Amino acid sequence: MPLYEFRCTGCGPVERSFAMAEVPTSILCPRCDSESRRMVSSPRLSHASSTAMGLLDSTARSAHEPAVVSGSVPGARRSPTPMTSNPLHRKLPRP
Ligand SMILES: [Zn+2]
């Protein structure tokens, strides 16, 4: 069931879960028992945390809008060292 946000005048926002067809326009505040009116907001349909949802959003966004990278990749060598598999080259002086 989605979460809906209500606002108590004394306590602030209160979140409650209701079925979409049964959501009331106001509820009693669980702290002070005063009327809390429903705020106009999007219902939260997922149980994932905001951090997890942010990660999912950034992953989906990077699939279509990859970040522009400038400079070299961290950890990459600046000049590639030529490699050889000849054992005689091991005796050669190194720079
Ligand atoms: Zn209250």
Q: Cα(65) to centroid of ligand 1, in Å?
A: 44
d(CA 95, CA 90): 12
Q: Cα(37) to centroid of ligand 1, in Å?
A: 11
Q: Cα(42) to centroid of ligand 1, in Å?
A: 22
As a whole number, the mean pLDDT across the chain is 83
Q: Cα(5) to centroid of ligand 1, in Å?
A: 13
Please report, as a single letter, which amino acid is at residue 80: P
CB atoms within 10 A of CB 36: 24
3-state secondary structure of 38: strand
Cβ-contact 11, 32 below 8 angstroms: yes
Q: Cα(20) to centroid of ligand 1, in Å?
A: 23
Q: What percent of the chain has pLDDT over 70?
A: 86
Cβ-contact 38, 5 below 8 angstroms: yes
Model confidence pLDDT, tens digit, residues 32-77: 999 999 998 776 666 677 788 788 888 888 887 777 777 777 776 6
Whether the per-residue pLDDT at 12 is higher than 70: the answer is: yes
d(CA 22, CA 34): 20
Stronger pLDDT, 40 or 80, i.e. the higher one: 40
> For the chain, how many residues are written?
95
